[in-house]
Amino acid sequence: MKQTYRGRCHCGKVRFEVDADLDHVRVCDCSICRARGALNHRVKETDIRVLTPLSEMSLYEWNTKQAKDYFCPVCGILPFRRPRNGADIWTVNVRCLEGVDLDAIPIRHVRGSELSLVSEEEERR
C-alpha cells in the first residue's frame, strides 16, 4: 500500500516527497551503486515531487549519458536518480526517506554489472 514519505539529503538542501509501497529495495552490484551504498526503490514519475529545483543540484552522467544522477552540491548525497532504461521512472535512495525502518524491507539484488557498456568509440559518436 502506497504511503507518502518525505525525503532529503544529509544537509537538507535537496528535498522531495514520494508516494511508494516500500515492499522491497534494490541493491545493485554495478561499480557506482556499490560505491554509493544506496538502497534503491523505483517509482513512477507521477509518484515523486522534487521540491528543490534540479538546477540547484549537481548532475552526474557517464557512459551512455542516459542515466541522470542528481545529488546535493553541498553534502554530496544522492537522494534520487533517473535510470537509463525508464523515461517515466525515478529511483529513490530509501536511505534518504524519513521514518523508514530499513531492516524491515526485503532486499532484491540487481546485477547491474552485467549490463552492457558502450564502447569508447560508440560513446564518442
What digits encode the pLDDT tens for the residues 67-84? 899 999 999 999 999 988
Cα–Cα–Cα angle for 43, 24, 64, nearest 5°?
50
- Give dist(CA 124, CA 104) in Å, integer: 44
pLDDT of residue 116: 55
Cα within 13 Å of Cα(123), Cβ side: 11
The domain made up of 3-114+117-121 is a member of CATH 2.170.150.70: yes
- Give dist(CA 70, CA 67) in Å, integer: 10
Cα within 13 Å of Cα(80), Cβ side: 27
Low-confidence ranges of the chain (pLDDT < 50): 118-125
- Give dist(CA 45, CA 42) in Å, integer: 9
Residue-range domain boundaries for the chain? 3-114+117-121
pLDDT of residue 120: 39
Q: What is the pLDDT of residues 12-25, one digit of tens each?
A: 999 999 999 999 99
pLDDT of residue 88: 92
